Every structure is written in C-alpha cells, then in structure tokens.
Chains A and B, each alone.
Chain A
C-alpha cells in the first residue's frame, strides 16, 4: 500500500509540475488576451494586444452580449479620425468584471478615462442597481452545474492585491471562489479552459457552405425558434418575478448601488457615463414596463439618473420589430450598423446640446 501511495503521489507531482511549467510558457499570455473582456473580437488577439497597451480610450461600450450584437465600434468612429473605441460588452459579463477591469486599467494608466464617453446598455431598472458591496467582486455564476459560469472573464483584470480582495469580499459561492483561485494561481487549470475552447473552435467545415442553422448569434441556435421562444419566455418570467420581489427603488438604495459606484469611478477620472436604450424583443422589454410598481420604479430611476447627471441616449431614428431578433435576445447582425449610426447621432446631439 505504501508503495502504491508513494507512486501515486510522485506521479501526481511530476505530471502536475510538468503541465504547470509547460502551460505557463505556452498558453498564459495567449489565454489572458483571449479572455479579455476589453477586446474587440474575442478571436482577434492581436487587436486585443494593441488595446492592452493603449493608455487612453475615447469610447468604451459596457454590458452584456447584446452590446456587441447591436454596436460596431468601427462604425461608431467611422467619421472621427484618430479616435479609438473598445467593445467590452460580452456574454457572461458582470458589473464586477467590468468594474475591476476599469480599476485595473486606471491603475496602469491613470489618464485612461480622461474625456472618455463610457456607454452602458440600459435595458431596465435592474441595470447595476443592486448594492455595490454585493456586486463589486462578482463573476457570472450560472447554475449549480456550472455549465455557463464565466470566472475566466475576471482573470485579465486581477493582480495579487485585487485577487486577495476578491477572495475576501466576493459574494460568489465557495465553489466559484475556489474556481477563481484555481484559475488565478494555476496555469495548468487555466490551460484546460483555454485549450479546450480553442479545440472546439476548429469546428468550421473545411468544404461546402457553413450550415446556416448552426451559426449562433449570441448562444441560442436560430434554427430552433421554438426552443428560443420557450427559453425567452422562461427568462422573461423569471426576470419579472425578480423585479416583483425587489423592494421599490429608493434614493438610499440607488446611492449604494453598483451603478453609482461606476459613475463615481468614471467621473473621478475625467470620463462621462451614458446609458443607452438597447433594442430588445417585446418579450424582454415588456417585463420592465408592466405593472404599477415597474412604472413607478422607471420614473424614479430616471429622475435619479438626471440628478446624477447620467444622460440616457435614445436612438430614436432607429426603428425595429420583433423579427429583428433572430434568437429573441440579440439584434440581428444585419441591423448593427444602422443602430450604431442612430446611437452615434443621438450621442452627438446630446453632446452638442450640452456644449450649447
């Protein structure tokens, strides 16, 4: 038995050490860029590298996967030579990831947000209105089975100090905090995510056309509308229940909210936060406008935004209908540039008004 246990221990130590050393050399930087939520395109790591080194940014877009689906940064700065824009919205994003990302950038480049317009998607009154204390260090935790967890998104924005802060202050479950700790400290563990992700991405057919039904826009296959619709209905119902359970918004709660902290951070460093109304399928948007409680919350929230001098941009010239959402969640790629232009117009008008 002793020999058996000794051999197992030796084998584990040798194989782990070899894997750890190899992966530290081969996959680490690669992985960090890949997982960076401040990248333009997840697969375009060279562009990301440029962004990593940028010491200042003119426009940043924050939010969920709906944001890159609805906005093209290239289109946004088409007529503004010399300016740069970064798309930081992506699936699995949380306030915690984006807040830590900004803090990390500001630590490296104090002028990173000077004169910057930061755009955050505005779907409804649940946009970062939870307490800052709960959200500051939180990564996306989908369910008990962990299938869609996204702890890796936080990795590029942690240093030793903020990693320890995460462990102390995060409101994630113990399972998730363990996972973040493993990801941060152990390259062998990180590499398993990275290599497996890359491996599964080599699934593009070599011959013949790509099967249209298998191209995903955001995570739900558009060839199965029935499933997408059922999923959307369940998600909408859960969201409606969540909003109904939530106590009515108050000045005190909003002053302690994550959104307030984000606005303060941006303002403190010379930038300005804008909310913009994101186009949504009616199943999703109706949730926020039904019932007296929601209507009161909407009114109260917008008056608070006005007090905080957070403008709400409304791309009024952009008209859409439910059929523009192929998976009921994301705007169709064919309408992205039109929405971007309309949003840009709205931003210019708003900024122009302010100047006058």
Chain B
C-alpha cells in the first residue's frame, strides 16, 4: 500500500478510529491492532512475503529471549550469530543471489574459464533491507545488554512491523521504539495536528516535486546519448532533487502518521542539501541508516581510533551495497568514501555541527559557496547511483563535460519552469525551517489560522492538480 494511494487514504482513518475509539483503553489490544494493521499494509503488495517478516521477527524474538537468560559468553555469541546469519541470509538470498552468481560467472569468463551462471527469478520483497536491519539491531543491542529483551511477542512483532516505517524506514532502534509500545498512549492534540502537517508536507514533496522531477530524470537517464551536456547536467539536478523529495517525503509521512498514533520516530533527514561539506551531508542524509552503520559496523571496526581510512572505505562501500546489487552502487559508495576521506584529511569532519546561518536569514558568501559546491558534488555522485550500469555512468559523465554544456538545454519547457518554481518553493520553505523538524512546523506560531488553512489548501490543491505521473517510492526497491 502506497502512502500516496487511495487505498491508504481509506486505510489510515479506519485504523485511526479503531485505535483511538475501540482499543484505546487496552494497551495490548492497541498493540495487536498495530500488528494486524501493519500486516494488512504490507500484505497489500504481496501477502506471500508476510511469512518472511513473520520468520525474521520470530527468530529475533526467540534469540532475544535466550540472550536475556544466557550468561555463557560463547553461547551468547552463537545466539547472536544465529540472528545475523538468518537476517543477512534472507537479505543475501533475495537481494544479492543473482548479482553474485552473475559476477562470479563473468569473472570466471574473464580469466578464460567457462561457467554457466545460474540466476533465479527472485522477486525482491519490499522493504526487506529495512526490517531486517531493524530486527538485527535489536538482537545486537540485547547482546550488548543495551536493551532488555522483550518477552511480549505482540510488542515485539509490532516493533518490527510498525506500518508507518516498515517498508522504507526510518530504521528504528529498539531503545527508542520498543519502550513506546509499553507506555499507554495519550492523544495529544498539538502533536497530532503537527503530524498531519508533516504528512501534508511529505505528500507535497513526493507528489509534486519528486514525481515531476522523476519524469525528466527518467527521460534523460534513459537515453543520455541523445542529449546535450546542459540537458544531462539538468537530468542529474532533477534526480538529485527527486531522490531527496521522494525519500525525505516518505520519511515525513511516516513520522507524521506515527505521531497520529502517539509514537515518536527518529528524524531521518536534516535538510542535507544545505550542508557545507560532505561530512555534514552524511550527518544529515538518511540519518537512521548512517547511525546504524556507525554503531554496528564502523565503531566495532575501530571507528576513528584506528585504521580510520579503511573503516570509512568499508562503511561507505557496504552502505552503497546495501542500496542494491549493482556495481554502480558500490562505485557510488566508494566515491563518497573518497570525498569523505579527502575532506577528512584537509579539513577535519567535526566542523559545521550547528545549522547553517544560525539566527540569520541569509548565509554568508563563504557558506553559500560551500553549500553550492557540496550540492554539485552530491549531484555528481548521484549519477553513479541512478545509472543502470558502469558504462552508462561513463557515457553520462562524458556527455556532461562537452561544449554543449553551455547551450540552453533542449528539454526546457513551460512545465519544467513550473517544476523549477515548485522546487524553489520547497527549498525556500525548508531553508526558513532549517532549525525545525519539518517544513511546516513553524506555521502554527508564525501564521494566523485563516492564512495557515489557506496555505494547507494551496498545498492540497497543488498535490491534486500538479502531481507527477510516477507512483512508487524510490527506496521501496531497497
């Protein structure tokens, strides 16, 4: 079920009413409703894959229970290994089997041998990378004794399958989300209204910005040889905006929906395109995944204490590979690692921990230059992420660095000018709100009710009238 579908528009109010009016007085019943609703939400795509979530949840629930009881260090390690093997095994089979089989066969052929590659017709279950990481995180935290294992299966199943964040995050930590299932939920008017505002802002970013940008990005990336350098640069720009609006839009909706049900999810984006360097960008982009890798991979490897360059390389390459089984993702990770390491060597990565131009309306020239440079660098790396193959990446980049980059892009149209206007609206709004959680947070205190409602209406009308043609969210494929 997509957040931007009619199905969800019916599903959400029904669950909301059942949650607050029928099950409100019974916490266990409320949690059970969340499990049922989440399984319906997920099963809407393909009910067969519910068995995977069920299996993954069951394994980690049992592993968690045993880890809680077991004091023998060796046995605890075996239990943790079971969780890791099961979760990464599922992920590996569904996501990476064909990639490894084909790559192995190609490598064998390259060295003069001959081997028939076996590829299976495997469908990638939606959101598998997200929920396996969430359950795996729970097992590791229990192993490290940072979190007490839960003995309530309903709570645990609700934690793994919580529908707002099930298929594309934010990847929640047990320490944040699990305790919320034990506390009685109170309906808080201000939080629910702000949740609705966040949903509206997320929908606007997805339907109006991301889906419109997607049309141009898809058109240009599908046939780069036919376009001038300027059109190719524009294609990279549109994808840069698309991927942010699509994914952060999803996160906004997920967080907003959770707030309607009395839950607080972690922030996943902190206006990353206003970053002044690569390190700041990675602190603000897909925060829940970055911190997951930091805590469960980077720090255990030694973090910044020892072999920092190796650790960063591994971190980014694994992160790239997490996105998909393609060499382009690996290269994207590698390129980001190189940028990060270069920046680390030259400047240090602890700069710019505070929001840009704090307390001022406009950034200084130096900050502005740094933001622009970081944006262009990020847009360049997204070419690796978006292209279908490594050869496509090379021809795309070659096409950009052509004298035709100085001509007016041949794809410029009136509709594209309207899309630029929408993008500018988003960027200006988010700039003004950059110290807040989401793009519409401050309107409550800054605008009177009639103006505020007028603004909401304009956003709704924009979604209804100017939505693009694409439907799916990019990150569902990961």
Contacts and interface: CB of A to CB of B under 8 A. Distances in A.
Interface of A: 1, 3-4, 7-8, 11, 14-15, 18-19, 191-192, 195-196, 199-200, 202-209, 211, 213-214
A349 B226 CA distance: 49
A208 B404 CA distance: 13
A207 B412 contact: yes
Contacts of B456: 11, 15
Given A195-B466, A200-B469, A207-B409, 19 more contacts: A1-B189, A4-B192, A8-B196, A11-B456, A15-B453, A15-B457, A15-B460, A18-B457, A19-B461, A191-B465, A196-B464, A196-B466, A199-B418, A202-B418, A203-B414, A205-B412, A206-B412, A206-B413, A207-B408
B377 interface: no
Contacts of A3: 189
B20 interface: yes
Interface in B403-446: 408-416, 418
Q: When A and B form their complex, which 8 residue pairs have the shortest distance between CB atoms, in order from nearest? A: A208-B410, A202-B414, A195-B465, A202-B415, A15-B457, A203-B415, A192-B464, A203-B413
Nearest to B460: A15
B193 interface: yes
Interface of A is mostly: helix
Contacts of B414: 202-204, 206
B189 A11 contact: no
Contact of A202 (B413, B461, B469): B413
Interface in B369-413: 408-413
B276 interface: no
A211 B226 contact: yes
11 contacts: A1-B20, A1-B187, A7-B193, A15-B453, A15-B457, A199-B415, A199-B466, A200-B469, A205-B413, A206-B413, A207-B410
Given A1-B20, A15-B457, A207-B408, A196 B415 contact: no
B226 A213 contact: yes
B206 interface: no
Contacts of B408: 207-208
Interface of B is mostly: helix
Nearest to B226: A211
B173 to A, nearest CB: 29
Nearest to A145: B471
Contacts of B286: none
Contacts of B415: 199-200, 202-203
Contacts of B20: 1
Interface of B: 20, 187, 189, 192-193, 196, 219, 223, 226, 408-416, 418, 453, 456-457, 460-461, 464-467, 469
Contacts of B457: 14-15, 18-19
Contact of B410 (A4, A8, A192, A205): A205
A205 B467 contact: no
A8 B456 CA distance: 12
Contacts of A7: 193
Given A4-B192, A213-B226, A196 B412 contact: no
A1 B410 CA distance: 53
A204 B464 CA distance: 22
B8 to A, nearest CB: 14
B189 A4 contact: yes
Contact of A4 (B193, B412, B461): B193
B190 to A, nearest CB: 10
Contacts of B466: 195-196, 199
Contacts of A4: 187, 189, 192-193
A204 B410 contact: no
Nearest to A198: B465
A204 B413 contact: yes
Contacts of B461: 19
A194 to B, nearest CB: 9
A4 B186 CA distance: 14
A205 B219 CA distance: 13
A204 B415 CA distance: 8
A7 to B, nearest CB: 8
Contacts of A206: 412-414
Nearest to B464: A192
A8 B189 CA distance: 12
A7 B415 CA distance: 35
A342 to B, nearest CB: 36
Given A202-B418, A205-B413, A207-B412, A192 B193 contact: no
A203 B415 CA distance: 5
Contacts of B412: 205-207
A214 B215 CA distance: 13
Contacts of A8: 196
Contacts of A195: 464-466
A214 to B, nearest CB: 8
Nearest to A18: B457
Residue from A1, A18, A199, A202 whose CB has the most chain B CB atoms within 10 Å: A199
A195 B464 CA distance: 9
A207 B409 CA distance: 8
Given A4-B189, A4-B193, A203-B413, A196 B453 contact: no
A191 B414 CA distance: 20
A4 B262 CA distance: 14
B468 to A, nearest CB: 9
A143 to B, nearest CB: 14
Contacts of A14: 453, 457
A214 B20 CA distance: 51
B265 to A, nearest CB: 20
A63 to B, nearest CB: 27
A196 B467 contact: yes
A213 B223 CA distance: 10
A192 B410 CA distance: 29
